[in-house]
Amino acid sequence: MAQIAVIGIAFAVTFLAELPDKSMFASLVLATRFRPLWVWAGVAAAFAVHMAIAVSAGQLLTLLPHRVLEWIVAALFAAGAVYLWYASFRPEHPAGADMARQGSPAPTFWRVAGTSFTIIFLAEWGDITQLTVANLAARYEPALVFAGATLGLWAAAAVAVSVGAKTLRLIPLAWANRVAGLLLLALAGYAVASAISA
């Protein structure tokens, strides 16, 4: 697969899957309380760390025999597609706590970015985007997957912190989940075909 196609697939899948995610709503809430750029810096750093972890996990999968790897990747992509489709039919409840309480220390760049990093870093463990990136990294060039996935997550975070809740309500988030699910299903089919022909 062409390098630009790998980056494009990683970008599209992570961007679409992350838009309706809890991390995006947390980023949006943080950006209503603090400077959006400070929030984005912390969120972006957390996403980059998680994508590095996911790509490393994907490389461990490559130690398996090729045919076994293809079947595992296909099963994980299919499971991700089913999860995203299931999630697209659940009611959305974006909620967040008021972080700017009286008596709190004055917000600084490091405090806001650190809080944003911690919240997103903890929220993303085992997330669908992390699992998807691990699968992509097991199949394609890890550096390209990392670049595309990280850019996709950074773009989703930029939408959350800059565009705000009003515009996000206009985006049919359920459909973003369904499109990402279809992409994962297509990747599962491709992996099955590769496993059969191996």
Q: Residue 14's closest CA among 117, 157, 119, 121? A: 157
pLDDT in tens, 107-149: 788 988 888 898 888 777 767 787 788 888 888 888 999 999 9
Distance, CA of 176 to chain centre: 12
Task: Count Cα atoms within 13 angstroms, Cβ side, for 28.
Answer: 21
Q: What is the pLDDT of residue 122?
A: 78
pLDDT of residue 99: 44
Confidence check: pLDDT of 100 > 60 = no
Of how many residues is the chain composed? Answer: 198
- The answer to whether the beta carbons of residues 144 and 7 sit under 8 Å apart is yes
Q: What is the dihedral of CA 160, 179, 54, 159, to 10 degrees?
A: -10
- What is the per-residue pLDDT for 67? 77
Per residue in 85-95, pLDDT tens?
777 777 654 43
Span 153-165, pLDDT tens digits? 999 889 888 875 4
What amino acid is encoded at 128 in this protein? I
